[in-house]
Amino acid sequence: MILTDQEILKEMEKGTIKIEPYHPHCMGTNSYDVHLGKTLAVYESKDLDAKKHNTIKKFTIPSEGYVLMPDEFYLGVTYEYTETHAHVPFLEGKSSTGRLGIDIHATAGKGDVGFCNFWTLEITVRKPVRVYAGMPIGQLIYFVVEGDVKTMYNKKPNAKYNQRAPEPVESMMWKNVNSPSGKVWLDVD
């Protein structure tokens, strides 16, 4: 079940959903519009390695906008900070951004119960397109959870994206290789 606008507002009053800053005109029938933050990033290396820390170069979107190119992969960030303590948040692109050929996530559209942070966007474009800080970029949808959650995301000791970051965050897959348990990657020999 997806929360309606009225249910999202009720959950915000209860504190189970937080959106900062909140603007009433951004509430849809069953979603909340989020906006592109002022920072983009690109990986410094053209060849990425899932077992290594791939560093990124961050830059601020100028007031005249920035042209995204089809041959590049960008990390962006939402302007809004969110917390979701009792629902599963999904971030989807807006149809208006999709019609410009902008994809805002490669695979990571779902958050976990207990996700408390800005959303890093995995941006690709089909054609060159100029984007601007503050433009509507996506919409958050909230799903009801059935059953009790054993460990909320923000309480997991091995959660890699818990540090509050108003800028894009690179992949932390490399931390799985170096995890204390050593059991994150499967042996497939």
Q: Is the separation of the CB atoms in 152 and 55 below 8 Å?
A: no
DSSP state of 49: -
Where is pLDDT greater, at 171 or 102?
102
pLDDT category, 155, cuts 50, 70, 90?
Answer: confident
13 tagged catalytic: no
Torsion of Cα atoms, 141 then 175 then 154 then 94, to 10° = -10
Band (pLDDT 50/70/90 cuts) for residue 189 is low
Residue 181 has pLDDT above 60, yes or no: no
Domains observed in the chain: 5-156+165-170 (2.70.40.10)
Q: Among 7, 83, 122, 167, which one carries the catalytic annotation?
A: 122
Does 188 have pLDDT greater than 80? no
Total count of residues recorded for the chain: 189
